[in-house]
Every structure is written in structure tokens, then in C-alpha cells.
């Protein structure tokens, strides 16, 4: 049920989505909302679509856009119209404003989104398409979605985006994929260009464009598996990486939820923190690694595997843990024997929810720390032994990896 936070304040903020057909394409209620606004804010392109309205002040978005929010809030109670592209609540300004203005004080007038227009033009079922934005975002973030048979629709940053997407597809072995660029969707200047990523050579692409990708895996393609315990070969490492089977168990115990933050202490290759972020695009990892060359390797792995937002700090625990955002979960993969680290981590976990700490050990000294921690704080211990078949002359024999002890603590406070 929707409730007004302040019944005395009427809706004063109108968020109006515009298409390429501009002012004539707006429904009467949306035009009326803009016409009665004392102040209108939007991009230059959108403001240019409006007819002159006497007594109305107009403002272009500043950069960064967030600098305008306080000014909009300061006009509370006065009719204000914000102009957006298409659907303001799909990678648009609507959600940003909703964090500062109560929904009961807003009225939204969406138009068809670029995703809807592109899917209709291509004949794609929108519910089966990954709809993403690379506008102001790192293009590497689309990497986890590349798989044979998947379809993507991307909101571009500018006219150079299609060539950058084609280059990424070629670099990752998806060169047979077909790219379709749709310019000025819904307008008189609409244009459609299509070609394989391997052959993409189109230039002079309009800044306002959408890129649709019909993914086809080539012989070199390595799609990123969808479940935890991804092969070690996917990661650049110097041997300091947990076995895939162990990582699958660790991630199951860490139990990533949506929008949660992980501390990955002693990150090594960064595999656990990367898999945490791959579990949900809203997740966050702060990795801590004492060796500079490994910290750089963590960053390279994160970029290559499609989670470029992973934060890697070059430093040692527990000193480098100060002032970090509160974690929902913590993984200790290195540095376990540092005095007081387990207690420091348990004290740092987020309050009021099921917060998790998981730590691994392959040494007698580390096992002793885990056993002592279980005596003091409860929790569980388990040990995993892995054997893999390896060549042995003309045959194969079982090769044992070091047993791994895993400690797990769940706290509700």
C-alpha cells in the first residue's frame, strides 16, 4: 500500500520522459505538467524540444548531475518539471530523484524506453534480453553476460560505443556475434546498422544510439560460468588461488545476497571477491592484499572478468581495515594468523542481520587459530580434501591437494 509521507504537500515534481518526437509526442497530461511548471530542468536537447512558456525558468543539468538535487529539493512546493529520456525509471534520473523526494510528491510521465523501442524494432522478446547501460559505466561490466545465444541491448555512451563493443566481442572470442546499432529511435532520423563484430567498420555513428548484441560464441570464446567455483584457469594467478571446489563451498557459506558488501582479506588472485560480485551485479567487494604485485593482479582479474568496480587496497590486515564500509560478509583467505584478526572481523560485521565470516587455512598454525576461535565464538569447522586425476606414465593417478580447513561464523545482532 502506498502512503503519503506528508499529506499536506501535494505532488509538485513532474518527471517527464521525452522521445525523439519531442513535445508533440507527449500525452496531454505531460504537456500540462510542463506548461504549469515554474521551473524546468533537463538536458539541452530536451529543453530545445519545448515551446516557449511565459514566466518559466529553465536550467540545464550540471555535471555531475547530482549537484542539481539540492536545488530541486529547495523548490519543494513549487511546480517543477524534470525532463528525461523515455522511461525515467530505467537507467534514468527518476530513481535518483526518488531517493530525495517522496513518491507521493512526484508524478511521472514515462515514454517507451529505448529498450522497448529497440526490442520492438528487432522483434526480440524483451523479457529474454539483458538490458544494460554503458552510459558512464565501464564497458567491461558486460563481460559476464556474454554467452552463446544470449541477447543484450545496451544504452551507449556516445557514437564510439558500438566500435568499442565490437572490439570487446572480438577480444573475448565472440567475433561471430551480430551487432545492430539503432540511432535516434522513434524519430525522423532513425537509422539501423547491422554487421558481425568481426567485420564491424561503421563510422560516423550518432551519439544517441542503442547497441543490440546477438551473441554467438566463436572457437576461442570462454563464457564466464554462472555458478561459483569457476575454473582456476579463468584467473591470472601465481599459484595463490583457492581450488575451484573449495571456492564453491566458500561462496555457499558466504551466501551472497543482493547489494551486499564483502571484505576479501588476503585476496591473492581476487577469485573469491570476484565471484561474490558475479553473484549479483549490485554486490560490492573490497579486497585487501599485502603484496603490491598481487593487488595489481586482482585489479586485472576483476576488469577481465567483468567486475571492474571491485576495490582493491594494497595493505595488511588488521591495520588496513580501519574506516572501511561495514561488511555483510568477510572472507579471510590470507593473514589468518595475525593476532586478533578473527575477533576484529567478527566485531566489524554488519548488525541486525545474518552476517557471515568465513576463513580458510592450509597450515597447522592457521588450523589452531580456527579451532581456538570456535572455542571462543562457536561457529563450525569443516575440512575439505580434493584429489584430481593426473597423468602417471601411460595411466592416471590421484593427486591430492593440501587439505583446506574452513571456519564459518554467522552472527545476528
Helix H or strand E encompassing 398: strand 395-400
205 with 238, same domain?
no
Contact status, residue 269 vs residue 297, Cβ threshold 8 Å: yes
- pLDDT interval class at 170 (50, 70, 90): very high
Q: Is residue 239 part of a domain?
A: yes
340-370 pLDDT, tens digit each: 999 999 999 988 778 999 999 999 999 999 9
Q: Is residue 1's pLDDT more than 80?
A: no
Mean pLDDT of the residues in the chain: 94
184 with 241, same domain?
no
Q: What is the CA radius of gyration of the chain?
A: 26
Look at residue 413 in the predicted model and tell me its pLDDT: 56
Q: Is residue 1 part of a domain?
A: no
Look at residue 4 in the predicted model and tell me its pLDDT: 45
90 with 146, same domain?
no
* Distance linking the first and last C-alpha atoms of the chain: 30
89 with 120, same domain?
no
In which domain, by residue range, is 180 found? 115-214
Q: Is residue 219 part of a domain?
A: no
243 with 210, same domain?
no
Contact status, residue 249 vs residue 406, Cβ threshold 8 Å: yes
- pLDDT interval class at 3 (50, 70, 90): very low
242 with 282, same domain?
yes
Q: Output the domain CATH number for residue 392.
A: 3.40.50.150
Look at residue 292 in the predicted model and tell me its pLDDT: 96
More confident residue, 188 or 312: 312
66-122 pLDDT, tens digit each: 899 999 999 999 999 999 999 999 999 999 999 999 999 999 999 999 999 999 999
Nearest Cα to Cα of residue 409 among 317, 320, 335, 332: 332
272 with 375, same domain?
yes
Average pLDDT over residues 290-304: 97
In the DSSP assignment, the letter for residue 44 is H
302 with 266, same domain?
yes
The number of domains in the chain is: 3
For the CA atoms of 70, 75, 77, 83, the dihedral, rounded to the nearest 10 degrees, stands at -80
- pLDDT interval class at 9 (50, 70, 90): low
Q: Output the domain CATH number for residue 85.
A: 3.40.1010.10
Q: Is residue 221 part of a domain?
A: no
Question: 62 in helix, strand or coil?
Answer: coil
Among 111, 140, 160, residue at a domain's last position: 111
C-alpha cell at 323: 574506516
326 with 193, same domain?
no
Q: Is residue 2's pLDDT more than 50?
A: no
Q: Is residue 133 part of a domain?
A: yes
104 with 209, same domain?
no
Among 111, 131, 148, residue at a domain's last position: 111
Q: Output the domain CATH number for residue 202.
A: 3.30.950.10
Give the contacts of 10 (CB within 8 A, at least 6 positions apart).
105
Q: Helix H segments across 228-317?
A: 244-254, 271-278, 292-304
Look at residue 8 in the predicted model and tell me its pLDDT: 53
Residues 308 and 217: their CA atoms lie apart, in Å, by 22
C-alpha cell at 19: 522521445
Q: Helix H segments across 156-232?
A: 161-171
Among 172, 188, 214, residue at a domain's last position: 214
Q: Is residue 2 part of a domain?
A: no
141 with 124, same domain?
yes
Q: Is residue 378's pLDDT more than 90?
A: yes
Q: Is residue 225's pLDDT more than 80?
A: yes
180 with 68, same domain?
no
SS3 content of the chain, % helix, strand, coil (to 5): 30, 25, 45
- pLDDT interval class at 5 (50, 70, 90): very low
Q: Is residue 227 part of a domain?
A: no
Q: Is residue 136 part of a domain?
A: yes
Amino acid at each position: 500500500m502506498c502512503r503519503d509521507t506528508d499529506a499536506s504537500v501535494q505532488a509538485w515534481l513532474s518527471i517527464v520522459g521525452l522521445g525523439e518526437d519531442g513535445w508533440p509526442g507527449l500525452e496531454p497530461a505531460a504537456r500540462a505538467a510542463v506548461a504549469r511548471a515554474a521551473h524546468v530542468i533537463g538536458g539541452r536537447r530536451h529543453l530545445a524540444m519545448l515551446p516557449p512558456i511565459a514566466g518559466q525558468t529553465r536550467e540545464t543539468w550540471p555535471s555531475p548531475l547530482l549537484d542539481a538535487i539540492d536545488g530541486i529539493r529547495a523548490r519543494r512546493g513549487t511546480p517543477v518539471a524534470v525532463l528525461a529520456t523515455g522511461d525515467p525509471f530505467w537507467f534514468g534520473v527518476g530513481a535518483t530523484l526518488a531517493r530525495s523526494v517522496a513518491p507521493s510528491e512526484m508524478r511521472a510521465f514515462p515514454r517507451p524506453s529505448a529498450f522497448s523501442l529497440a526490442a520492438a524494432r528487432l522483434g526480440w522478446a524483451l523479457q529474454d534480453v539483458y538490458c544494460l547501460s554503458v552510459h558512464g559505466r565501464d564497458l567491461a561490466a558486460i563481460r559476464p553476460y556474454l554467452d552463446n545465444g544470449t541477447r543484450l541491448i545496451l544504452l551507449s555512451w556516445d557514437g564510439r560505443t558500438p566500435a568499442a563493443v565490437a572490439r570487446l566481442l572480438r577480444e573475448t572470442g565472440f567475433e561471430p556475434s551480430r551487432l545492430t546499432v539503432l540511432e535516434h529511435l522513434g524519430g525522423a532520423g532513425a537509422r539501423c546498422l547491422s554487421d558481425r563484430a568481426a567485420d564491424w567498420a561503421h563510422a560516423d555513428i550518432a551519439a544517441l544510439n542503442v547497441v543490440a548484441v546477438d551473441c554467438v560464441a566463436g572457437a576461442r570464446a570462454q563464457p564466464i560460468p554462472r555458478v561459483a567455483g569457476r575454473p582456476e584457469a579463468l584467473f591470472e594467478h601465481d599459484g595463490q588461488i583457492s581450488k575451484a571446489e573449495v571456492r564453491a563451498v566458500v561462496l555457499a557459506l558466504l551466501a551472497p545476497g543482493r547489494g551486499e558488501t564483502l571484505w576479501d582479506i588476503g585476496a591473492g588472485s581476487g577469485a573469491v571477491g570476484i565471484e561474490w560480485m558475479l553473484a549479483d551485479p549490485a554486490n560490492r567487494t573490497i579486497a585487501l592484499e599485502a603484496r603490491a604485485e598481487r593487488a595489481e593482479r586482482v585489479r586485472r582479474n576483476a576488469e577481465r572478468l567483468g567486475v571492474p568496480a571491485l576495490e582493491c587496497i594494497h595493505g595488511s590486515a588488521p591495520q588496513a581495515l580501519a574506516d572501511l564500509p561495514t561488511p555483510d560478509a568477510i572472507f579471510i583467505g590470507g593473514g589468518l594468523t595475525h593476532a586478533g584478526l578473527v575477533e576484529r572481523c567478527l566485531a566489524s560485521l554488519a548488525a541486525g542481520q545474518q552476517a557471515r565470516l568465513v576463513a580458510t587455512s592450509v597450515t597447522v598454525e592457521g588450523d589452531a587459530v580456527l579451532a581456538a576461535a570456535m572455542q571462543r565464538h562457536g561457529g563450525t569447522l569443516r575440512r575439505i580434501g580434493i584429489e584430481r586425476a593426473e597423468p602417471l606414465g601411460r595411466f592416471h593417478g590421484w593427486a591430492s591437494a593440501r587439505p583446506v580447513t574452513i571456519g564459518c561464523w554467522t552472527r545476528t545482532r
